[in-house]
Copies of this chain bind each other. A is one copy, B any other.
Amino acid sequence: MKVLSYGEVNLRFTPPDYQLLEQTNQLTYQVTGTGVNLLTNLRNFGMQVSLLTTLPDNNIGKTAAAHIRKYGINDDFVSFNGNHIGSYFVELGYGARPTMVTYQNRLASAFCQAEPASYNIEAAVCTSDIIHICGITLLLNEKTRETALKLASCANQMGKPLYFDFNYRPSLNTEHSKAFVKEQYEKILFLADTVFGGILDITELLEIPVDKNRPISEQLQTGIAAFKAKYPVRNYVGTIRGSAVGEHSLSGFIAGEGFKVSREMQVEMLDRIGAGDAYAAGIIYGLSEGWSEERTLDFAVSNAVLAHTITGDVPHTNRKDVEALMNGKQQSLVR
């Protein structure tokens, strides 16, 4: 199975040893992005993966492409143009101190400035079995929106299932009304096979009402029922996070033919970013393997739990380790 993802590539800068940016002049960088994270993880599971993106036409773009290849992602559909890449600084939290993410400008990036016509979308879809689009592309600008919609529409025409990830961040929508954004999302929801989202995407963005006094899983069931009544989406998939003092937990759900929730797993967090993409990768992998929803959910949640124990956004997990955790057979030391 071949997966194609359309998404932005970013640079993440992290000071070492839990230091604040202000405390040191040392950084490590990592090449990241929702598409990058997802595809790396799928490749580790054994799938073939391609990224559709545009990188700067300079040493930074060249380096980003090298890292993408290192992750095992095919770079045949990576274009080079412009001179800017989106970046952000991560100051890793500890205990009560939150992880702090500070974004730099991304609208000037090679990705955001790339003309839709510059991509060979047909060829990319044609050689793939599954198409994935990150919803952030609907928020960025006209060019990324147009590209995303062309890609979705092409996938639809060629009969390739479209996985769409809401990733709706109100803070990125600075130019347009919510109505405008909702309209963009709806265009793609009519083309998607499987959607990754939460309760807020349904209630806040799509304005489907639910009773907020009910338990979260009930809200989800009601909301998704209304959602599915409106949009021809096969699966609505997401996570539920629990958090007591000093403890974090994670479960997942799939609303396919029915509504299934996984067990709740404890989470120890080394790095608080990237687990959502790991969850999505687990779902895509399970579904493409033809696993039951139960097994798929279990695998996806275990994968997300493992992803939290890995430095950086990119989830370098593999099937063997995920299944060991899922089956309660993980060890503390493997030699």
Contact = CB atoms under 8 A, between A and B. Distances in A.
- Residue in A93, A171, A305 whose Cβ sees the most chain B Cβ within 10 Å: A93
A33 to B, nearest CB: 14
> Chain A contact residues (Cβ within 8 angstroms of B): what range?
35 or more
Interface stretch (A131-139, A149-157, A197-205, A241-249): A241-249
Contact of A83 (B29, B69, B105, B267): B105
A30 B25 contact: yes
A213 interface: no
A100 B22 CA distance: 25
A68 B40 CA distance: 16
Interface string A296-335: 0000000001101111100010000100110000111111
A27 B26 CA distance: 6
A168 to B, nearest CB: 13
Interface in A48-95: 58-60, 62-63, 66-67, 69-72, 83-85, 87-89, 91, 93-95
A332 B99 contact: yes
Given A20-B310, A246-B266, A268-B96, A66 B71 contact: yes
A292 interface: no
A166 to B, nearest CB: 16
Interface stretch (A11-19, A187-195, A229-237): A11-19
A99 B321 CA distance: 11
Nearest to A30: B25
Interface string A19-46: 1111111111110000000000000000
Contact of A26 (B26, B59, B312): B26
Contacts of A28: 17, 24-27
22 contacts: A13-B27, A16-B17, A20-B59, A21-B60, A21-B63, A22-B62, A22-B66, A59-B91, A59-B100, A66-B70, A69-B72, A83-B105, A93-B332, A97-B309, A98-B330, A98-B331, A98-B332, A100-B335, A103-B335, A108-B108, A171-B335, A273-B333
Q: Which 4 pairs between the two chains have the least Cβ-Cβ distance?
A: A95-B268, A101-B335, A70-B70, A97-B309
